[in-house]
Structure 1
């Protein structure tokens, strides 16, 4: 869906309250000056009063305020921006991660390799709003969450959300939500979250599109937890995070229609980046209907898709961590890689000490300087890990928003890093939707279990039928390999 659907298509989605279109576009009503999700339960507006926009920011820019019933600002993210590797897609992901708030539009443009003027023109054409308007919409959502879920003073909320002044904060909240910050706080819904000492606790609902194979996703993550960095217990996944302004940790629990995320932040300015990274980790902006439509049409995967719809791509909160997992995990078991990386985090990561979590994963600079005793592996692999970490520390490779071709080229230039490692980073680190690991042992075993060819070349040819969602096929093949072997399979 590279362009806004025609009016009739959009209006039918609104009339049927079709949740599948939430995040794809937004419905604005001229008679009320309110914009909504397509699935809003309110009465369907008259055709003459309806306008459609590609983004919440575009609707806000046109003078519409957010519906307080369907909360369109908290709709599932657009699968298009989550999957696209072009400049617009990368820009949208970086804005969601708070880059504009931290580095300004100039910093965003530098990371993307474009001038500010060209970037503004490109985003305005694609989503109807430039980077400043998109960042403003995100600040408004962050402010609403902090107003409604914390006891922070409103001035603290304003600056934590990224506003430059109290006046700007008040004006934006009033324009976006039709009420003052004080009115939003007075009407807030009570929460049952118990604050953790030393942290600002913020509960958030992370929306997704049905279907959502939460059990399979959490089982995959649970089989690969790094001791002290993450854990899975009683259906809740917890992990520590290294965020732009300090450490944090999150507890994620699947619920009906959303994932309940309880964020614990050392600095509340990290709320937007933390939410963005949790969504990325769980692949919550994916369009499962599109993925399952392709994979379910293939005879080899048809029964699996019917039995377990909505399988997601387990991604990461830190692309560098996934690079380390890929390098350390070469030719060793999942358990051995977990042990090495857990010890590395305990020695070099920032302390967290909360509910079984002890450390964040270390920085690239720390790993580049790690002593030999923390890297018990062959010399060639140790040199590759240090060299890759040095590239990440210097900013020569961007593992959290870089152009995939540039990332791949930079990593392949490192002695000891080959195509499998790069493909693994593309799949789980950058979340590329169409990466296939035909030489991976787990993929080959899963293919054999489903009657597919298990020779790499033949399997690669056969996997062409899974385009453009080969990464999701990899996850299904890993799962079948694990079932056949009775243990965890894949990286």
Structure 2
């Protein structure tokens, strides 16, 4: 929707003038005369004059300009920019790592180290691309997380400040006043009038979604692949255990067309930001169908499918290493997880343990066929030592080469891993039998070479094209089952 490098003033102003919600999260509208920044769809009765408006890519950039968040439209409560989940460059990788809380845990030097660049170079790249340096981006995220905790829990403010990553109560108070023009007490008072926070176990949040959204397709994909003890689907909710920096936790996700109701149970509430970021990535909540569906719809074979699934999403990983090992283990994943997984401090209904970390699997005596055992052990060893790193800042080209170097991993399987473990939107597992079956059903080439050539039309969204075919196959199957 918006160019990756420039915010074209006229286009952004037209979106603001028409209050187009499709642009929420892509950019923010700063109004110098009022000193606030808004989402493009802000319902304010008067559109600001052109001379008074500046457009920003991030809330941090708007805050650096001395602006505070609009109380009417809550620009902090919209989905994030889809760019940060799809861009494979240093900026995209840095934004994903910042969202996961790396700056709070390891500081800017730790972030730069993970990206293999100098702090100075990273600072320059982020300022040029998004208008704010790493510390400002992390501070903005901290303020948003603090507001969530203030409004949705009954935690004392001192605990909220610590959990959100602030160094002191004074810094916490000053930041919330500066960003939201309200004290923590005022924010909580407003939330109470709206019926929040409600006492009870866990932290319950409403995760914003960029519509249209296909919750049935996402949940069905996750539910059919759920590992007992780690994941479960019941009563319209998908639940899973999470391995987080501060220890294991669980989340219950109830997707709806316009939001996702999420309840987190965490060992350390400081992990809330990372848990939210990973769940947003898992459900692909920040994706913009207006970017990839028109590209797919340009192929006559896919056009009717895009109309049938206008909210198509690409389910992502909460833990890249877990996804890779589960995929390679195949039917043995459940047995390995039950034998070597880390037990939760207390079971959460059907959730009893997390998936074992790579070091445990590398050292375990896993009963597998010899060839697969060798591949799993080698892969787990490389993940455990950091030779392969599949976190939010992973460099996709380097990871693809690293996976291809693992004995026993074929190129076709590596494409599957790139799609599901790294969320690469252009990965295309063309050898997948289900994909070839769906392709044949929709008059696409049903041989890998032919389908690969045809899918070149779908770049850089071939991964979404694959999921569109998988999703269409499930719709066709359901329609067939419902016929008398």
Which piece of structure 1 moves more, 67-76 or 95-104? 67-76
Partners in 2 of 1:153 and 1:28 — Cα distance? 33
**1:4 and 1:25 in contact (8 A); partners too:** no
1:470 to 462, 466, 476: 462
Cα distance, 1:481 vs. partner?
4.6
Cα distance, 1:348 vs. partner?
2.1
Runs of 5+ unmatched residues, structure 1? 330-336
RMSD across aligned positions (CA): 1.7
1:420 to 395, 400, 412: 412
**2:213 and 2:257 in contact (8 A); partners too:** no
**2:383 and 2:389 in contact (8 A); partners too:** yes
Match of 2:482 in 1: none
Cα distance, 1:181 vs. partner?
1.6
Which piece of structure 1 moves more, 123-132 or 441-450? 441-450
Which piece of structure 1 moves more, 270-279 or 227-236? 227-236
Q: Following superposition of structure 1 onto structure 2, how do residues 373-452 of structure 1 map, counting pairs within 5 Å?
A: 373=367, 377-400=368-391, 401-452=393-444
**1:229 and 1:342 in contact (8 A); partners too:** no
Match of 1:454 in 2: 446
Match of 1:116 in 2: 119
1:21 to 20, 23, 34: 23
**2:151 and 2:197 in contact (8 A); partners too:** no
Match of 1:332 in 2: none
Cα distance, 1:84 vs. partner?
0.2
**1:213 and 1:310 in contact (8 A); partners too:** yes
After superposition, give the CA deviation of every residue in 1:117-152 in whole Å (9 maximum; x if it has no partner): 000010000000000000000000010011111121
Cα distance, 1:224 vs. partner?
0.8
Match of 2:140 in 1: 137
Q: Does 1:37 align with 2:29?
A: no
Cα distance, 1:195 vs. partner?
2.5
**1:36 and 1:72 in contact (8 A); partners too:** yes
Partners in 2 of 1:59 and 1:68 — Cα distance? 15
Question: How many residue pairs were aligned?
Answer: 471
Q: Following superposition of structure 1 onto structure 2, how do residues 296-307 of structure 1 map, counting pairs within 5 Å?
A: 296-307=297-308
**1:4 and 1:54 in contact (8 A); partners too:** no
Partners in 1 of 2:130 and 2:364 — Cα distance? 44
Partners in 1 of 2:357 and 2:35 — Cα distance? 46
1:327 counterpart SS class: helix
**2:37 and 2:75 in contact (8 A); partners too:** yes
1:52 counterpart SS class: strand
Cα distance, 1:194 vs. partner?
5.8
Cα distance, 1:349 vs. partner?
2.1
Per the normalisation by structure 1, the TM-score is 0.93
Cα distance, 1:484 vs. partner?
6.7
Q: Following superposition of structure 1 onto structure 2, how do residues 233-272 of structure 1 map, counting pairs within 5 Å?
A: 233-272=234-273
Partners in 1 of 2:87 and 2:178 — Cα distance? 31
After superposition, give the CA deviation of every residue in 1:343-380 in whole Å (9 maximum; x if it has no partner): 3222222223112111111111111122224xxx3211
**Measured at CA, do residues 216 and 452 of structure 1 come closer, stay the same or move farther in structure 2, by a change above 3 Å?**
same
1:253 counterpart SS class: strand
**Measured at CA, do residues 486 and 366 of structure 1 come closer, stay the same or move farther in structure 2, by a change above 3 Å?**
farther
Runs of 5+ unmatched residues, structure 2? 480-484
After superposition, give the CA deviation of every residue in 1:430-481 in whole Å (9 maximum; x if it has no partner): 1111111122211111111111111111110011111111001111222345
Partners in 2 of 1:18 and 1:478 — Cα distance? 31
2:157 to 154, 158, 165: 154
Partners in 1 of 2:136 and 2:293 — Cα distance? 34
Partners in 2 of 1:15 and 1:256 — Cα distance? 26
After superposition, give the CA deviation of every residue in 1:263-317 in whole Å (9 maximum; x if it has no partner): 1111000011000000000111111011111112211111111112121001111
Partners in 2 of 1:184 and 1:191 — Cα distance? 11
Per the normalisation by structure 2, the TM-score is 0.94
